Structure 1
Amino acid sequence: MYTLYKLNPADFNENFLQALQLLFSGKTIEVSVREVDAANESTDIWQAIQRFRQSMNPTDYPDNEDIFANVRDRPTGREVAL
C-alpha cells in the first residue's frame, strides 16, 4: 500500500501517529521526508480543484438550470464493421 501525505510539520501530532499505526498495523513502513516546491503545489490536482471551487460563484447559475446538461457527448460510440 502507498499513501502520500502533504502537510505542515505542525500537523504532526499524536493523532497522526495513531492513524499511521492503525493503517499500517503489523507492517514495516518506510518514511521519507522532503520539502515540496511551491511549483509542485500549484500543479497538484487537489489544489487546482480547490482553487476552482473557490472561484465559482453559485449565484452566477440559476437554480432551475442544469449547468451540466450539455457537457457529455451523447453518441454511443463509433461504428464497428465486423
Structure 2
Amino acid sequence: MYTLYKLNPADLNENFLQALQLLFSGKTIEVSVREVDAANESTDIWQAIQRFRQSMNQADYPDNTDIFANIRDHSAGREVVL
C-alpha cells in the first residue's frame, strides 16, 4: 500500500502516529521526508480544498441545512445517437 501525506511539521502529533500504526499494523514501513515546493502546493487539490474550507463562513450554513440538496441536475440529459 502507498499513502502520501502532505502536512506541516506542526501537525505531526500523537494522533498522526496512532493513525499510521493502525493503518500499517504488523507491516514494515518506510518513511521519506522532503520539502514541498511552494509552487506545487498552490496546485495541489487537497491544499485547494483546505483553503476553500478556511475561506467559508460557517455561520452562512446552518447545521440543519443540506447545502448540496439541489446541486445535481436530474434531467434526462442529451440524446445519444449511435
User: Which TM-score bucket, shorter chain as reference?
Assistant: 0.5 to 0.7
Aligned to 1:35: 35
- Per-residue CA deviation, residues 15-61 of structure 1 (Å, 9 max, x unaligned), is 111110010000010100000110010110223345567778xxxxx
Computed over aligned residues only, the root mean square deviation of the Cα atoms, in angstroms, reads 3.4
Which protein is bigger by CA-based radius of gyration? Answer: 1
Q: Equivalent residue of 1:28, what SS?
A: coil
TM-score for the superposition, normalised by structure 2: 0.59
Structure 1 residue ranges without an equivalent (≥5): 57-82
TM-score for the superposition, normalised by structure 1: 0.59
Identity of aligned pairs, percent? 98
Q: Equivalent residue of 2:34, what SS?
A: coil
Q: Equivalent residue of 1:31, what SS?
A: coil
State how many pairs are aligned.
78
Structure 2 residue ranges without an equivalent (≥5): 57-82
Spell out the pairing of 1:1-82 with structure 2 (5 A cutoff): 1-51=1-51
